[in-house]
Structure 1
């Protein structure tokens, strides 16, 4: 299998598109075609299969064989790693190969032609860790438009990043500094790769660049690993169905994992992280104090109220 094509030294335009596949053969031709239609043409596709049992690997290898300068398979680690493990392997491969930016891709989406160009324009020449994210055009299985994903406006950064993820992976582009920050880390198994990137970049004082445009066609179908509720009430209902136990498990795991990376954060963030971690070991009074931290909220009042209740009792 070919090694990842290495960008020329000093080339800050080369983007690694990171694609983890799993039984995605029906959808991949449309996605791959949308890569070729990008207005920003300086990219390489790094892909890894996570144990497909359909024709996915054959399709991908044939596509790559026809475009050896555009595509490389990442073979290690072998076996099923799950979504986060697979994308982290791809991210590490991109960092090792020296790419300037990395963009996550989901196998069942279709990218708008300007997706990469818009993201790279927003990232610019930012030297600090930076993460670009955008909204999605929600479509059905036949690509008929349903609507637009939720606005990205509202509280962001640390510690808001602990309460919810607003950086949906299939829109995310990371710059070189963010790649270097995240690649050596180990996210908890319960945390999605995109949320972990958002956590690390904002906890390290990096920039979150939000684009209110829809940049991909995001299929909503029965096989979605994660879907996108189209309204605030539906998002609240989905959260209620998951319940406080599931949310607080991920919350605790994220806090513990971030503490292991605390050397990358500034003193204020380390202090806030310790206050939150200590409150989880104690009772409601300590948690009430933690909830007074600036920005420790979600994007909507109802969601914030639900988060605060779960944080107090979970």
Structure 2
């Protein structure tokens, strides 16, 4: 029976979704993640798995599930072994990858059954020519899948001015269309970016695309010691970010994003291209001109404390 989308009433089962699953030593939780993908109410999915050289049972688990999936709908690839961002970007840029929509997937979460149907409810309303990105909040759980809390609710609108300063959506929640993937492929996979999800948010907003941030959590985001990137809402995480800022890490991240955006500068909207140029120049100015021009850029973060930190970083030349 076709799946009638819960938000729009439209039939979306005919839309093929490629699940971009990147793994590395993920034997403990991978099966539970794959089971949750198999249980999606939107059933027209293919798995594109890229393993980055796991030394545990991850490859065997992937092969076992490959045999369970319909033939040709579960492919396994070898990652570049250059970190998680490079692995996701290499998978996203594969020439033979072909679907209507694409969803990043970590190896240790649990997707809610309606995760993909909620994403497609919005994505299917956007014209194919417009880059579109869906993301959502998450429900934080511990290693035993017991709930801890819910990720922060962001209320300021998604935009390039925000994307330059932070990422609002975890990659594990992101689903995007072919117009967005086309620009990601054009930018290339060998980029000095910090994370594939932050880069995706920057690219889609910078090139005039649309972003929908869903306030409803669509997955259970497992917090454990082996997480490469855990939830950053705790006070310990906030102090860690302050420390990284003073050490110049945030400034280094901005350097790398500005460099990466050079590959698709012709794709940026005129307004966003001007913003990027102004931002890049302002970072090199003395205090008063720097503050004036950064203000004119309109950059912002999603919270009061985040914006306070942004002002402090601007004053001390840490942007």
- 2:139 and 2:158 mapped to 1: Cα distance? 22
- Decide whether aligned partners of structure 1 residues 234 and 12 sit closer, same or farther in structure 2, where only a CA change above 3 A counts: farther
Supply the distance in 2 between the matched residues of 1:151 and 1:188 (Cα, whole angstroms): 30
- 159-168 vs 304-313, greater mean Cα deviation: 304-313
Q: Which runs of 4+ in 1 moved over 4 A?
A: none
Aligned counterpart, 1:277: 280
The Cα of 1:122 is off from its aligned counterpart by 1.3
Q: Deviations over 1:255-288 (max 9, x none)?
A: 2221331100121111111111112233223321
State TM-score, norm by structure 2. Answer: 0.89
Q: What is residue 167 of structure 2 aligned with on the other side?
A: 165
Task: Give the deviation of 1:234 after TM superposition.
Answer: 5.0
- What is the aligned partner in structure 1 of residue 111 from structure 2? 111
SS at match of 1:307: helix
The answer for the alignment partner of 2:37 in structure 1 is 35
Rounded Cα–Cα distance in structure 2 between residues aligned with 1:259 and 1:184: 11
Once residues 138 and 266 of structure 1 are traced to their aligned partners in structure 2, the CA distance between those partners, rounded to angstroms, is 36
The answer on whether the counterparts of 2:80 and 2:86 sit within 8 Å (CA) in structure 1 is: no
Gaps of 5+ in 2: 1-12
Q: Please say if residues 136 and 217 of structure 1, whose CA atoms lie closer than 8 Å, have aligned partners that are also in contact.
A: yes
SS at match of 1:178: helix
Structure-1 residue corresponding to 2:26: 24
| CA RMSD between the two structures | 1.8
The corresponding residue for 1:240 is 242
Deviates more, 1:64-73 or 1:195-204: 64-73
Would you say how many aligned residue pairs link Structure 1 and Structure 2?
300
Give the TM-score normalised by structure 1.
0.90
Deviates more, 1:83-92 or 1:182-191: 182-191
Q: Which residue of 2 aligns with 1:89?
A: 90
* Correspondence for 1:148: 150
